[in-house]
Amino acid sequence: MSKRITLKDLDAYYGSFRAVEGVTLTIEPRSVTAFIGPSGCGKSTLLRTLNRMHEVVPGARVEGEVLLDGRDLYAPGVDPVLVRRQVGMVFQRPNPFPTMTIRENVLAGVKLNNRRIAKADAEELTERSLRGANLWNEVKDRLNLPANGLSGGQQQRLCIARAIAVQPEVLLMDEPCSALDPISTLAIEDLIEELKQDYTIVIVTHNMQQASRVSDRTAFFNIAGTGTPGRLIEYDDTRVMFSRPSAQATEDYVSGRFG
């Protein structure tokens, strides 16, 4: 179910501004990889290049290669819609569809694509996805109520359920806990630990404790100054990154000396 992602000399642009420069790294399947770094260093931009959501912003483009199990996502003829069905994404702020019920939100990937699904299959998919997101017990009695009646943490887990309902290979998470309280954060971190069994997970976070708790590998990004592109400074096992990093900037950042 999960796939290896390889980035080769990747540059990401917004118009003429280069936001990310020369990133080369490999993300292993069935692992959690954390992107850390100060604000504006291009972690979220880089994450969004992994499922071609980067180009949704007008003027944004990418140079270099992103290989998903050896196949380039940016090769000519690749349909971004099909890429996004394999590489799911969870956003910073919970964004359930306000016009839909909880059940419809979980099934959004199916329903919005006009695919027919038998009633029994829909029930099964809803329950499996919500169980996978640790939300089933909390919402099973109100599946037909509007989704924005849930708390922020529940909404975020609903968004995760919605993302895994389309059965992607990879799950990208862009600061999924930054709008949540500690208890909801814990619930999501436990969930990431479980999802790792089936998915390749890439998570952007500002919270270094979170990176050290949930991730297997950590990539540290930094910028030389405002207006300069973000670069990959160091990429290693999380334990190494937080105990004896090789770059001075990484050590300064993880020990809280800046950022």
DSSP-derived 3-state class of residue 46:
helix
Q: Any contact of residue 84 with another protein (CB under 8 A)? A: yes
State yes or no: residue 43 binds another protein (CB under 8 A): no
Closest approach of another protein to the CB of residue 57, in Å: 9
Give the nearer residue to another protein in terms of CB position, either 177 or 254: 177
Rule CB under 8 A: say whether 85 interacts with another protein: yes
- Using CB under 8 A, which of 16, 76, 77, 81 touches another protein? 81
**102 touches 143 (CB < 8 A):** yes
Q: Using CB under 8 A, which of the segments 79-87, 198-206, 235-243, 247-255 binds another protein?
A: 79-87
Q: What share of the chain is helix, strand, coil (3-state, %, to 5)?
A: 35, 25, 35
Q: Which of residues 123-152 bind another protein (CB under 8 A)?
A: 146, 148-149
- Applying CB under 8 A, among 31, 95, 178, 228 the residue interacting with another protein is 95
Q: What CA–CA distance (Å, rounded) separates 216 from 181?
A: 24
Q: Does 31 bind another protein (CB under 8 A)?
A: no
Looking at residue 205, what DSSP letter applies? -
48-72 burial, b at 16+ Cβ within 10 Å, e below that, comes to bbbbbbbeeeeebebebbbbbeeee
Distance CA 12, CA 46 (A): 7
Q: What are phi and psi of 155, to 5 degrees?
A: -60, -40
Select from 152, 156, 197, 162 the least CA-distant residue to 174.
156
Q: Where in 219-238 is the site for another protein (CB under 8 A)?
A: none
Binding to another protein by residue 108, rule CB under 8 A?
yes
Taking residue 218's Cβ as centre, other Cβ atoms within 10 Å add up to: 27
| Full DSSP string of 174-217 | ESTTTTS-HHHHHHHHHHHHHHTTTSEEEEE-S-HHHHHHH-SE
How big is the site for another protein, counted in residues (CB under 8 A)? 32
Residues 153-192 that bind another protein (CB under 8 A): 159, 162-163, 166
| Minimal distance, residue 99 CB to another protein, in Å | 5
Nearer to another protein, 84 or 206 (CB): 84
Instruction: Please answer whether residues 193 and 30 qualify as being in contact, where contact means their C-beta atoms are separated by less than 8 angstroms.
Output: no
CB of 157 to another protein, least distance (A): 14
Q: Between residue 57 and residue 76, which ones bind another protein under the rule CB under 8 A?
A: 58
Q: Which residues bind another protein (CB under 8 A)?
A: 51, 53, 56, 58, 81-86, 88-89, 91, 93, 95-99, 108-109, 111-114, 146, 148-149, 159, 162-163, 166
